[in-house]
Structure 1
């Protein structure tokens, strides 16, 4: 996990297997391929959290029930950790909303066989089933496809800024990413200064 301070806020970059939860001015970022990032937020308590989970089993089946496979168990573990971390900071589970991203098939997207290349498809199926079963409303999503994503999740307006990964333009995109998360923190700071405390 990498934390960068900016003004009175922070930008936190999480890697696979990590999560972060905060109620302060923050932008949480990550880079996704076949992995999934669940961006959860409580609009009442103004708490956000993001995880970045990948599947640990080298072989997956598209047809097996998810509660039998290692794929389902790992995803459930990652989601439970995120929700519990948010509840530890005061979130009421009834208020939790979600935005989900990732699950790309980057290598060999034409393959329809059960092999390592279907991990993105299994991840997409898992996260949709999990949200439905747990009754967490999905407010936005960008899952599947054949491209990676960089996402930035803001605690100001709960917006998620997403861009497709294109390695040919990495320098300009890195500058644009920096502008994106810095602007989001600046807006959160402006909103905080407008609030009168009694």
Structure 2
């Protein structure tokens, strides 16, 4: 996990297998390929959290029930850790809302159903089924496809800024990413300093 301070906020970048929860002004960022990031939030308590889960078993199947495969177990652990951390920070389970991203098929998108390369598809199916079963509403999603994503999740308006990964333009995109997350923190700071007159 990498933390960058900016004004009175912070940008936290999480790696695969990590999660982060905060009620402070800031942005949570990650880079996704076949992995999934679940961005959970409680708008009433101004609390956000993100995880980044991936599957590490050498074989997956799109056809097996998720409770039999390692795919379902790993994702369940990642989601439980994130939800429990949010509840420890003051939310109730029924207040949580979700935005989900990732699950791309980066390598060999035309591969057969039952092989290692369907990990992104298994991840997409898992997160949709998990959130439906747990009755957590999905407010936005960008899953599947054949491209990676960089996402920035803001605790200001709970927006998620997403861009497709294009390695040929990486230096200009890094500048744009920095502008994106710094602008989100600036907007949060401005909202905190506004005074309501009665």
Length-normalised TM-score, structure 2: 0.98
Partner of 2:32: 32
Secondary structure in 1 aligned to 2:56? Answer: coil
Paired residues in the alignment total 197
1:114-149 C-alpha deviation (Å, 9 max, x unpaired): 111000000000000000000000000000000000
Structure 2 CA distance, aligned partners of 1:195 and 1:14?
Answer: 34
* Deviating 4+ runs (over 2 angstroms): none
Question: Residue 152 of structure 1 corresponds to which residue in structure 2?
Answer: 152
Query: What corresponds to 2:76 in structure 1?
Result: 76
Residue 164 of structure 1 corresponds to 164
The alpha-carbon deviation at position 112 of structure 1 amounts to: 2.3
1:81-160 alignment runs, 5 A limit: 81-160=81-160
Unaligned 5+ runs, structure 2: none
Q: Could you list the per-position Cα deviations for residues 66-117 of structure 1 after superposition, in whole angstroms to 9, with x for gaps in the alignment? A: 0111110000000000000000000111110000000000000011231110
Gaps of 5+ in 1: none
Matched, 1:58 2:87: no
Residue-by-residue CA offset, 1:147-180 (whole Å, 9 max, x unaligned)? 0000000000000000000000000000000000
Residue 42 (structure 1) aligned with residue 54 (structure 2): no
Q: Offset at 1:19?
A: 0.2
CA distance in 2, matches of 1:176, 1:148: 16
SS in 1 for 2:80: helix
